[in-house]
Chain A
Amino acid sequence: MIYSWLIALFQALLYVALAPLLIGWVRKVRARLQNRRGAPLLQPYADLRKLLIKEIRVPHTASPLFRLAPYIVFVATWLAAATVPLVALDLPIAQIADIIVLVGLLGLARFFLALAGMDVGTAFGGMGASREMLISALAEPAMLMAVFTLAMTAHSTSLVSVMSHHLADGFLLRPSYLFAFGALVLVALAECSRIPVDNPTTHLELTMVHEAMLLEYSGRHLALMEWASQIKLLLYGVLIANVFFPWGIGQDFGLLALGIGLVVVLLKLAVLGLALATAETTLAKMRLFRVPAFLNLALLLALLGLLSHVILEVGA
């Protein structure tokens, strides 16, 4: 019991530790694809460290919420991540939250992020918040639809059951999974504010979404916010990787199993990161009002997944 909780703790810490690495990896690959050498792989860690020790500057107009938000955002994201099986299946912490709770926790984080954006009372903050809420409003149903497809297949909304069900089935070509996968990928791009929905590296005023909300942050607050978004990216990566390709994840808590699980998941994430970087270099960011079309595609895919599950897989 205690042991399993310890593993859960370890896994949670692993998320925090690995998140910057994934970002670093993606940036590196992008740089390579653009024939640049790019920053070192561990650069994100350095950035975070620097931000953490820097002094904080808070606008006059900011309310206490401004300073509270980073912690909530960070913690909510982290807790959400901690419930997603990374290296080992069936951890007690996974019982705390099923997929819907996970979406809820991310929603909580987003809520405070948006509020923080509006708190200072600058035009950009409000703009960012408004756009973020639009995107999430369109992304969330798609996400849940995709998740429901899996959930209805496994007759359960708990990730553990979904994965183990998938493992038990062995390798099946489920059309519903294909659609759900597509949907989840699109949603992930939108939610983690990656190209083509948002550009994490831009500070060009009118195109920012996520950055616009962080505009006024500095020091450790900024660090927390950045870190949270990195964890979020990792979370989605793991979600996609482990839900659709759960093979290799540790079925028991033996060190060997955990080790294998870790290695395998790192490999999966590396591949995903590669794909993401490639996508971001080949695609261009789209106008804000093209985004709904993009997300409607995601919703459509998710719906198709659900229907094909209902019609093709359960029916008759």
Chain B
Amino acid sequence: MTALLLTLLAPLLGGLTLALLRPLALAGWFNLAVSLITLGGAAWLAWLVAVSGMIAGMGFRVDAFNVYLVVLTAFVGVTTSIFSRPYMRHVCSTGKISAGSLRVYHSMYQAFMLTMLVALTTDNLGVLWVAIEGATLATVLLVSLYRTPEAVEAAWKYFILCGVGIALALFGTVLTYFAAQHVIADPAAGLTWSALYERAHELNPTVMRIAFVFLLVGYGTKVGLVPMHQWLPDAHSEGPTPMSAVLSGLLLNVALYAVVRLKMLVDGSLAETATPHLAGSLLMGFGLVSFTVAGLFLHRQRDIKRMFSYSSIEHMGLMTFAFGLGGSLATFGALLHMLVHSLTKSAIFVTVGHATHLAGTQAIERIRGLIRTQPAIGWSLLFGVVAIAGFPPFGVFTSEFLLLTATMQSQPWFTVALVSGLAVAFAGLFRHLHPMVYGAAPEGQQPVQANMLPVLLHLGLVLWLGLSIPDFLATWLDRATGLITGTRLL
């Protein structure tokens, strides 16, 4: 429990102090330190969970499903803060933002981490909602940090769309609570996920069905499911790059996590009805649509960050599909995919950040010949995209392998859509990637000092996961799979 408190308090206090901390040079380091503490707490927590299986109490619940996401969140938080320190200094020195907004940036960074961690660890659906809404509030200011018209516009859209979505989710939560009241006497416990999960089969299916639709549309907006995704590329492309990294790497995951938790409840309550797999089918539908549409979007990109945010949508769609498909194999694959995708994608965004500094623009047609200008950036970008495109020996391949074979086994016809979607997305990515990394170096672009450590760290991990999944992680994922599907793989 202390571990959990440490994990949660560190960003809370850190955020507050950063809001007040004057000397900017220090802020970056302090930010990093706080993230490190958080990571330490998360690691401790993970160890405890690995030992005891689950930690619950004080309205919190840490089990196999969310503990690895907690660690992931903390880890990406650390690496991104490593990257963001010099990056934001550079931004600040170019005069794009004022010292004050830099302070806002740092405190909001920690606030965002806090909301993420709370959303993951809480056992209360209401608190979950509050936390995710909080994440929106924390990031919306960061999106408009640069104060350019585009940035403001992006922030507004982000705010409005996610606000509405979240509101719908709240309605869904209310309905769930409504259904719970007829099952659970104690009103206080009416929103505790664990309590609901135990008696899920008693929840009134009619209510839960409607509730799930609201929750799906609501949190789905956050996940970036088509057609509620429109905020995502805007927010990613206009916010500072570290923000894009954590948005793509963490926020989407957490939203998807919420959807899956709720799907578990609905599945329980619909088990005896005529449509037991309603939730699953809805997820599959949304997943496929997002996956395909995002793949097509990739072909017509002009902005490098927008491009990769669409690729995030595509992968979220893939995971959603996998969770909808159900079955231990697919679920295991999806869980793994959450992990490797956020690692890879945040690595890519870090690299993209350097590339944009190098070229001085986010326009794809102005980023050319990176390998010639600065091999480190060029190769990292190339390898990152290769990894995200699902080539071994990177981990994304492993999850896609599991996912495709699972689909082939249960729903063969969907594989056609999946394969064509993957091919389209691949072509879309590489047609833009090739001219960016290859070719002769353009005139007047000087190498920038870039810290490639986060990228190497992430890609190294993804590579490791692709070659072999360590036992503790395997058991976590397997326990989570058991939790979600009821059948374990190992």
Do A and B have CB atoms closer than 8 angstroms in the complex? no
